[in-house]
Chains A and B, each alone.
Chain A
Amino acid sequence: MSAFLNDYYVNIAVMTCLWAALSGAWNLMAGYGGLVSLGHAAFFGLGAYVTAIVYTKFGLSPWFGLLAAMLVTTGIAVALSWPCFRLRGAFFSLATLVFPIAMEIVANNWVEYTRGSSGIAIPFNPGIENFIFRSRLAYLVAAFILMVIVYLITRWMHRGKLGLYLIAIRDDPATAASMGIDAVRVKLLVTAISGALTAAGGFFYAQYILFLDPPSMFSINVSIQIALLSIVGGLGTPAGPIVGSLLMTPVDGVLSQFLGGGPRLLIYGLVLLTVVLLAPRGIVGSIRQLRRAR
């Protein structure tokens, strides 16, 4: 019983770190470049699927899967986003909404590799070479490392060249161009980084849950949760996604025991709208503002 309880709490901790990392990867695009993707489930699912296919279909170590997942996802993220960079603001978001839908169609129909709607089960062969562990604590360490990597990248970007350039393009494209900024290159770079990190999250998820199927991997709910955590925590701040996840993921873990998908997402929607209307800077942003005002 105590072992179960322990597992239960460790699982929530793992998920908190994983969602913080995923949301942090999204925050790079949305929080700095104003590239508000509503389709990050596509990159998450793609990362997981490439990992699983490399392992189950080609029999290669998931470590290769991680590399392949990051490369493939980065390539596809860049290829899909490139034409969409012509769109500003909400129109970019609308376009990204289609990405996971397209992925799900491919995953459902490319049965030879994805096993279609029956999904892929990854065999449980524990070992560091397979990135499969008996102890959940090992997963916790890995998820924590992923979260820290995303945090450090955001920190590095925050008021560095890439971050400033992204904000410049977001605030005023004409001004940015007049200062010699190549908007497309900067946007591609941040999309590549965000896509690769999201794929790493997908890799982790595949090796942790050991089962994936199209509707759960490419669900709009994944995209919503990714965005929600950053908004609650503070969009465009390095710590925001972590604070958001610390607050929301454990609550979600408890809620999911009592509530089905509908009511749970209803609460998500209400939280999202409340934060947007009452505290649009999120927790970290609001604290920062209070401190400045003092």
Chain B
Amino acid sequence: MAANARSGPRIWVTGLGAVTPFGWGMEAFARGLYEGRTAIRPLSLFSTDGHRTRIAGEVPAGLEDALAHLPPKQRARLSRTDGFALAAAREAAASAELELSEHGRPSVGLFVGSSTGGMLEGERFFGDLRTAGNRRLAASRIASQQHSGPADAIARALGIGGPVVTFSSACSAAGMAIEAALRSLRSGETEVALAGGADSLCELTYAGFNSLRAVDEQPCRPFQTGRKGLSLGEGSGVLVLETETHARGRGARALAELAGAGSSCDAHHMTAPDPLGEGLVLAIEKALTDAGVDLEDIDVINAHGTATPLNDVAEWKALERVFGARLARIAIQPTKSNVGHLLGACGAVEAVAALLALTQGSLPPTPTVDAVDPECPANLVIGAARALSYPATVLSVNLAFGGANVALVFRSDKPESS
């Protein structure tokens, strides 16, 4: 029983949507996760000539189908990232059985993380501009470049009338968006909030992480001895969050509770994490306090686990500082081993993975290649799925380029059939 339980409205997760390298929709994601597979494979979206790596977590074909219901002119202005975001948001709203027919209720908000927005289209446009010179180039091709594109696309499609805010804090963007939704709901500003993130692969990011020599030629191996770096990925995750009162009022079922959140900054270095992990420690402590849970209550940690040699150790040090000896008994779920690093979307897709575990009643097995590294000896689920005991509480953390850290706490009293 939590010693410092908090008061105030409880916030439920009532819907989920996802587009991942495993495919379009929650079912494909769940199947990929529970079969213990990795979706990181040779990249086909653009040429990898000249890059140090050849693989990524790429979302399979399906973008056209996902946008088919839109008028052609509107479709033309949407980026790949917008498409992911829209599909995930629509799935989440449908799964929550959310009636958004009351067009533009100010009590329904949207909080989205995206780190590059429509950069894929932007860089292609830019290339054409450079080679074609001062030609009339379609405005629609520039329209899709904004970081705020995914949020605006969802807001327009679903008729969001409340707050719409895009976070662009790199790898922590979606986590921070989810946190912002939590605050908005608790304050009464909103009764329902969609929160998540979306990003697509693009050459800029692919080249950039390669230039930092932070990428593995093989699919990434979080917390494992042979790890060499991250694998980039793309996709979108969206949660429907609402106040308990609102959910009960319309007979919605709770998948889980978003109990708390906290964020911080390392202020150590722009690309390297604080090796002592102090920033992450602060974010986790804030989240636990905010959630009114004790250290002993945490059963699972969905780690950031990018699989670079330094990041995993820095993250581990932070977790050790917080949990001490207990850490060895906490299951670690590194979702990047399945789908790669989804940048601005990772916080949301990883939250979805954590929520899947809570609703399914078990943790999926992590695909591993090497033994766990004794420097960061994560209690990975290897081989078969591992049952959860209830009530169950999951801590999901992310650490970003630029030092922003975010921690989310989800809990559930019992598994729900999804």
Asked if A pairs with B, the answer is no
**What residues of chain B have their CB less than 8 Å away from a CB belonging to chain A?**
none
